[in-house]
Amino acid sequence: GPKVLQIPSHQIIDMGQMVTLNCDPVSNHLYFYWYKQILGQQMEFLVNFYNGKVMEKSKLFKDQFSVERPDGSYFTLKIQPTALEDSAVYFCASSLDWGEDTQYFGPGTRLLVL
């Protein structure tokens, strides 16, 4: 099936540093999502993005978070500055259309903030 890639697979950084998580979505998809999963907890929606804009975000999407997809390249999640509670697995997903609800997920980026 369609593949979503995420780079890097693992990232360890010191608290206060900036981190950028990269997602290479399915090529013809138009909607992009980030989800966060803390170890042992359920996956939670962070944000979705369409046509260069954030469409909806959850309360987990703090002011330190930002997303963008410059020139159709990677869809990125930037955290600046990072905090200890940002340690989690971050999953990127993409879908073809809002009416097409199938979201295809990447393998996740495991972020550890020390």
Partner 1 sequence: QQQVRQSPQSLTVWEGETAILNCSYEDSTFNYFPWYQQFPGEGPALLISIRSVSDKKEDGRFTIFFNKREKKLSLHITDSQPGDSATYFCAASVRNNAGAKLTFGGGTRLTVRP
Under the criterion CB under 8 A, does residue 23 sit at the interface with partner 1? no
Closest separation in Å from C-beta 84 to partner 1: 23
Q: Which of 17, 102 has the CB closer to partner 1?
A: 102
Closest separation in Å from C-beta 23 to partner 1: 11
Q: Which of 13, 43 has the CB closer to partner 1?
A: 43
List of residues 6+ apart from 75 with CB closer than 8 A: 22, 23, 24, 25, 32, 49, 67, 68, 69, 92, 94
Instruction: Please choose, out of 14-22, 27-35, 66-74, 78-86, the segment that lies near partner 1 by the rule CB under 8 A.
Output: 27-35
28, burial (CB in 10 Å: exposed 0-12, middle 13-18, buried 19+): exposed
Tokens describing residue 105: 């997920």
Alpha-carbon distance of 5 to 11, in angstroms, equals: 15
Pairing label, strands 10-13, 109-113: parallel
Task: Print the binding letters for residues 39-68 with partner 1: x by CB under 8 A, - otherwise.
Answer: --xxxxx--x-x----xx-x----------
Binding site for partner 1 (CB under 8 A): 1, 4, 6, 31, 33, 35, 41-45, 48, 50, 55-56, 58, 91, 93, 95, 98-99, 101-108
